[in-house]
Amino acid sequence: MHLSSSPIPKIINPEFRRVLIGVGGGIAAYKICEVVSTLFKMGVEVRIILTHTAQQFVTPLTFATLSRHPAYTDENFWLPTHSRPLHIELGEWADLFLIAPLTANTLAKLTYGMADNLLTNTVLASTCPILLAPAMNTDMWEQQTVQRNWQQILKYGRFHEMQTPSGLLACDRIGAGRMAEPREIVSYIQSLLHTKGQRDLVGKHILISAGGTREYLDSVRFIGNPSTGKMGLALAQAAIHRGAKATLVHGSAAWDTPLGVKTVPVVSAEQMHQAMVEYLPSADVIIMSAAVADVKPQEYNQGKLPKRSLPQSLPLTPVIDIVADLAQYKQPHQQLIGFAAQTGDIVTPALDKLQRKNLDAIVANPIDQADSGFGRDTNQAILIDKRGHQQEILSCSKLHLAHHLFDFIGSC
């Protein structure tokens, strides 16, 4: 799921929209150009601070052009051109502070409260959440001193961790230390703009099913549906961003594994049921967003059937109702959330499913609207809990909807 290939969603919280970005001196600085461009298209106000070394990789003019605002450097810091100190103004202005790429040098300065340039001075003059996206050579990243600084800085509640995936680095090394991709950074920024840095799911395990299942007639033909799993992906990302541990049991999907999420790929409804039952005991919240098949061919044929051998009628048999089965094993401290993908009247069948399957809440999701349903990057829904409370969520990004759902069930 690449941001560049999809319509740009609007920001989650229009009143919390000012993002300050501190760019460190590393080759990964070029990736921040895409972050800035995407945020601007989403309606976010962006200001940029470049360290002296960062300017060797990307010029202030590039960032000024992308953000539609002059970029700041240390030269601005020392010149008396502002009525108030620049680092104070920027620190008070920001709703969120991203530092990317975060170098070993800047990390050490942050850990020990040093302030010898515009970037580090602004950090100390700010109180907003700070998202850190490290980037460095594997040997540098794995040094004990660097890891000590990293663990120390994350103990302070305002600092949020952008994980470093393994991959090919600019030094031709394959290993840890690679900066997260722009789409991952933008998603985390969206989440922080909604939560304002609150980690209300720390210590929680969120178990999510996603995508469509496939019930095979033979080796190549199956009964399925057009679900892509994007809603489940958004739920897993939102959970991680709010401090939870997330396990995503998914059928067919066309997206990269999100950072920090444990993924369990499955094919059939039976396999999904087995995986959900396996992880159920350790879960605090279970969300069944998958589009699970209702029936399967009565017989499976090994290999590909010749066209002439295809049955004129296809005997079908029901598959297990996963969410109803999970409800029988659910413990009092656990919450079980269902999805009801419907056309026409979405509330009546959702209420029936909520009560009949003993759910704590349900997401009534229209799939006959142009901006919601299978394969879309946007969605809309009516959230309903077991006490009858309802909340309508108008068309928004699926990540936005995921956060609204976590807000909603947090009050159930």
Enzyme catalytic residues: 171
The answer to whether 273 and 247 are in contact (CB under 8 A) is no
Strands (E) located in 135-256:
159-161, 167-168, 174-175, 205-210, 215-216, 222-223, 245-250
* Alpha carbons 138 and 135: distance in angstroms, whole number: 9
d(CA 170, CA 101): 13
Q: Within 13 Å, how many C-alpha atoms sit on residue 321's CB side?
A: 9
Strands (E), 251-398: 262-265, 285-288, 295-297, 316-318, 335-342, 361-366, 378-385, 390-397
**To which residue do tokens 């499976």 refer?**
300
Cis status of the peptide bond prior to 129, with omega within 30 of 0: no
Contact between 342 and 380 (Cβ < 8 Å): no
Largest CA distance in the chain: 84
